[in-house]
A and B are shown apart, each in its own frame.
Chain A
C-alpha cells in the first residue's frame, strides 16, 4: 500500500519569493514520485517525476524536487515565484517501474501575491 501526504492545503507566497510545497510519501517498495500541476479550469499536467535515478529532479517552468529517502519526502521548490505559478499542485506516488497506478495527494493550492 502507498500513500501521499501534502502538508498545507493552501500556500501563499509573494512574487519573487521561494516556493516550497511539501510532500511526504509512504510506500512498501521503492517508489516512483510525481508532481502534477493543475491550472484553473484545466486538467493536470506532469511537472516532474522521480524514477530512482538522480535524487534531484528538474521539471518544467523552473521547478525542481529532491527525493530524500531518509525523510520519505519529495518536496517541490522554485527559487522565485511568478504570478503564472498560481495553481493547484498534486504529489503522487506509484509502486515503481511498470506501475501505472498512481496514488495522489489531496493537493496544495498555491497563491502568488503581487
Chain B
C-alpha cells in the first residue's frame, strides 16, 4: 500500500530533550516536506527537500533540522525542543513532474507536546 509513515504518532517530552520524528514513504517520491498544524493557523511549512541531499527552509524553520540521506526518508529533528514547538506535525511527499506539482501525499501526523 502506498503510504507516508510517521513515527511516533504521539509524543510528550520535556524542554531541551532532543527528539527525532521519522518520515518514510514507499512511493519513490522525490519531493518531501514537513508541516506543522496549529489551531487557527492552518499548515505552515517547516522544511522541504526536492531530492536526496537537497533541503531548503520553509516558512517556519527555526528550531528544526532535517536531513535527506535516502530518497525514502526525511526525518525532522528538534535539537532542543521548546513549548512553542508543541504542535501537530505532518510529513508529505510528491513525485516530481509538472502534472503532479502540488499533489501531496500526507502521513497521518505526529502530535508532539513539549512540557
A interface list, Cβ under 8 A from B = 9, 32, 34, 36, 41-46, 49, 90, 92, 94, 96-102, 104-107
B98 at the interface (CB under 8 A from A): yes
Interface-facing stretch out of B13-21, B43-51, B72-80 = B43-51
Q: Are B50 and A100 within 8 A (Cβ)?
A: yes
Q: Count residues of B near A (Cβ-Cβ below 8 Å).
A: 26
Q: How far is the CB of A99 from chain B (nearest CB, A)?
A: 6
Q: Are A44 and B101 within 8 A (Cβ)?
A: no
| Between-chain CB contacts (< 8 Å), 15 pairs | A41-B108, A41-B109, A43-B90, A43-B92, A44-B90, A44-B92, A96-B101, A97-B98, A98-B98, A100-B33, A100-B94, A100-B96, A101-B48, A104-B35, A104-B44
Interface contacts (Cβ under 8 Å), in number, total 61
Task: Please tell me which one of the listed residues B33, B40, B43, B50 contacts residue A90 in the complex, with CB atoms under 8 A apart.
Answer: B43
Bound together, the chains give a CA A97 to CA B99 distance in angstroms of: 8
Q: Are A43 and B101 within 8 A (Cβ)?
A: no
B12 at the interface (CB under 8 A from A): no
Bound together, the chains give a CA A44 to CA B90 distance in angstroms of: 9
Q: Are B101 and A97 within 8 A (Cβ)?
A: yes
- Given known contacts A44-B90, A90-B42, A102 and B106 CB-to-CB distance under 8 angstroms: no
Bound together, the chains give a CA A105 to CA B102 distance in angstroms of: 14
